[in-house]
A and B are shown apart, each in its own frame.
Chain A
């Protein structure tokens, strides 16, 4: 009997042993205290810790926050690229969503926001709405909820121009697509790249060019209708026309040779080393340009819009833009924790953090006066943002799967294995099936 009991006890202990091992690795409980005691919050942030510009800037921001809020201790975890999203999904599914988490205003993190895992920030923002750019205060949820307080306005389509090279080649800034195409042979004959773009990752062509072209060929009214599937669709001639322009630019060798083999970053590299006359990229690139360009280069590099296209229905000089990502907070936080979390969110995206980020080359969503001591490239970015009309970035208004397929189809379009019409029809089919849920 005693042997049996002993064996049973040992067996149960062994059974429990693996679970004890697993439970030993679970998240530490958040330190919840009030009064003068420290409130500890976990934060999950999108950051490339090897980035020589962004990482130190962020560290500086955190340092400033901690100096001002000694009773709030933030414990950061970082992710970057796809691994950020993989981990976010895993944390969310396993019920271990951090207290503060970086989110996107569009569909990119909708798996977290749609599941009700984060708080609606509108009650916290109340009274401050006018301090932000209109775009940043647009609803992010079905009922107008704001899940994250956007840190920046992200302009995704800027035609950076090297005016020194243009002058040397006897060219001027093109006003129309035809003028731009006519410059191609002249630029190439001089061993230069007309438009530097690196599309190996497939998203730059969509994010930095396709959106703005769709606005030009269709106009914003048509764009809104197409997104909603209300009297317009992505297989309309307006969208096909935008695809035809990309095909034309590719066929006429306007992009970097082997653009679909070039890793993102190579585009900027070719531009700052003056191997390319134009660079089509997002406003975030200014952040890197500050450090990469010399003072002299900064005097002749300008920020321009893509030229007018034939039968244009949209606005001249338009670009594509979206409210950027920002921090949101876990729906499970209690009052004291929520207040502490909001202090960080407000510090980061509000006046203080925005002023710091602006200094480092970002375009904050919070309305700030232009700093007198700003880098010339930041001044150019601010001036550009103030003068151009803004349309949609496709990946901020369409779901991940249709956009994923569309990005790849743009590469196929350039390789000649799909026609502009096929690309348009495929996108419409996917948007209708997945985003609008019609099929």
Chain B
């Protein structure tokens, strides 16, 4: 064996365990799911090849389309709500614009340390028909039949969930940004200040350009996380009432595990992957353009 061959063999040997595990738990399930998505299979017996029928049925199902709409709203609240708010809070704490920064930092980060199921129960206790807010309104208004109608409106029922998601995840982004802001050399900012730069100029000319990479990474997390959003919503509403708060992960779960439509459920999971990859590619292309602008 030549030295080059030995080197190649040792490379393969070193990456083999990781590669095998990756193939077993990621590559194989994705390809298996992809092949299942063209079949009708209930979990037993032979699967029946149905071509694109599952995909056609999914895209003609109003429940899926409403779920997709809700997912897009979650993507929007994550990318345009959690990220800017997280950045703003991190910036304010980093620049010491508020007193008691550590207290705020802990309080804002706290929700992410709580289990989504506990968060769901907590907010349900506050907003549900048997919750505190409803009870208070009933007491003050004298209307014992009062109900918060927002939860019974098809287009608005998702709003309280968006609010909870904003409350829950902003802290994560704030911590990431705060850590990255702390990596910016303070002498650069001091030099800018001495040169007479305003807070706005420092923000747009120094801080923001050095954070583009971090913002892109967090946006990728936000998009991927939003499209697979499940636990909090399932525990809060189960996608109800009447599918009003349905998201595609719940749609996939219901069809796969309640109705035993494994082929159909696999097709939904492939759609989630494709949507996620598509949105991330768009984001990466946009971030490259921004990075070039600051080069």
Binding site for B on A (CB under 8 A): 3-4, 7, 10-11, 14-15, 17-18, 82, 85-86, 89, 92-93, 111, 115, 188, 191-192, 200-202, 253, 256-263, 266, 269, 400-401, 404, 408, 411-412, 415, 417
Which of A191, A253, A400, A415 meets B242, CB within 8 Å?
A: A415
Query: A202's closest neighbor in chain B, by CB?
Result: B240
| Complex CA–CA separation, A89 to B128 (angstroms) | 33
Task: Determine if B259 and A260 form an interchain contact, defined as CB atoms under 8 angstroms apart.
Answer: no
Query: A199's closest neighbor in chain B, by CB?
Result: B241
B239-273 at interface with A (beta carbon < 8 Å): 240-243, 254, 257-261
Task: Determine if B129 and A201 form an interchain contact, defined as CB atoms under 8 angstroms apart.
Answer: no
B188 within 8 A of A: no
Q: Is the interface of A mostly helix, strand, loop or mixed?
A: helix
Binding site for A on B (CB under 8 A): 1, 6, 9, 12-13, 16-17, 20-21, 24, 42-45, 124, 128-130, 134, 144-148, 151-152, 154, 237-238, 240-243, 254, 257-261
Residues on A with beta carbons closer than 8 Å to the beta carbon of B151? 258, 261
A10-B13 in contact given A412-B242, A417-B242 (Cβ < 8 Å):
yes
Q: Is the interface of B mostly helix, strand, loop or mixed?
A: loop
- A132 to chain B: closest CB distance in Å? 30
Task: Determine if A411 and B240 form an interchain contact, defined as CB atoms under 8 angstroms apart.
Answer: yes
Residues on A with beta carbons closer than 8 Å to the beta carbon of B258? 82, 85, 400-401, 404
Task: Determine if B147 and A89 form an interchain contact, defined as CB atoms under 8 angstroms apart.
Answer: no
| Complex CA–CA separation, A74 to B16 (angstroms) | 42
Task: Determine if A257 and B13 form an interchain contact, defined as CB atoms under 8 angstroms apart.
Answer: no
Query: B17's closest neighbor in chain A, by CB?
Result: A14
| Complex CA–CA separation, A256 to B134 (angstroms) | 13
| Complex CA–CA separation, A267 to B260 (angstroms) | 31
A411-B128 in contact given A89-B257, A400-B258, A417-B154 (Cβ < 8 Å):
no
Task: Determine if B242 and A411 form an interchain contact, defined as CB atoms under 8 angstroms apart.
Answer: yes
Query: A401's closest neighbor in chain B, by CB?
Result: B259
Residues on B with beta carbons closer than 8 Å to the beta carbon of A4? 1
Q: A11-B16, A14-B20, A260-B241 are known contacts; what are 4 more A-B pairs with Cβ within 8 Å?
A: A111-B260, A191-B144, A262-B129, A417-B242
Task: Determine if A263 and B241 form an interchain contact, defined as CB atoms under 8 angstroms apart.
Answer: no
| Complex CA–CA separation, A192 to B241 (angstroms) | 24
| Complex CA–CA separation, A86 to B151 (angstroms) | 28
Task: Determine if B1 and A3 form an interchain contact, defined as CB atoms under 8 angstroms apart.
Answer: yes
Query: A270's closest neighbor in chain B, by CB?
Result: B130
Q: Show 8 A/B contacts (Cβ-Cβ < 8 Å), sorted by A.
A: A3-B1, A200-B241, A201-B240, A253-B145, A257-B147, A261-B148, A269-B130, A415-B242
Greatest chain B CB density within 10 A among A17, A191, A260 is at A260
Query: B145's closest neighbor in chain A, by CB?
Result: A257
| Complex CA–CA separation, A18 to B145 (angstroms) | 59
Residues on B with beta carbons closer than 8 Å to the beta carbon of A89? 43, 257, 260
Task: Determine if A400 and B145 form an interchain contact, defined as CB atoms under 8 angstroms apart.
Answer: no
Greatest chain A CB density within 10 A among B12, B44, B243 is at B44
- A261 to chain B: closest CB distance in Å? 4
| Complex CA–CA separation, A11 to B129 (angstroms) | 61
Residues on B with beta carbons closer than 8 Å to the beta carbon of A263? 124, 128, 130
Residues on A with beta carbons closer than 8 Å to the beta carbon of B240? 200-202, 260, 408, 411
Query: B154's closest neighbor in chain A, by CB?
Result: A417
Residues on A with beta carbons closer than 8 Å to the beta carbon of B43? 89, 92-93, 111
Task: Determine if B257 and A86 form an interchain contact, defined as CB atoms under 8 angstroms apart.
Answer: yes
Query: A261's closest neighbor in chain B, by CB?
Result: B129
Greatest chain B CB density within 10 A among A3, A10, A191, A408 is at A408
Task: Determine if B6 and A14 form an interchain contact, defined as CB atoms under 8 angstroms apart.
Answer: no
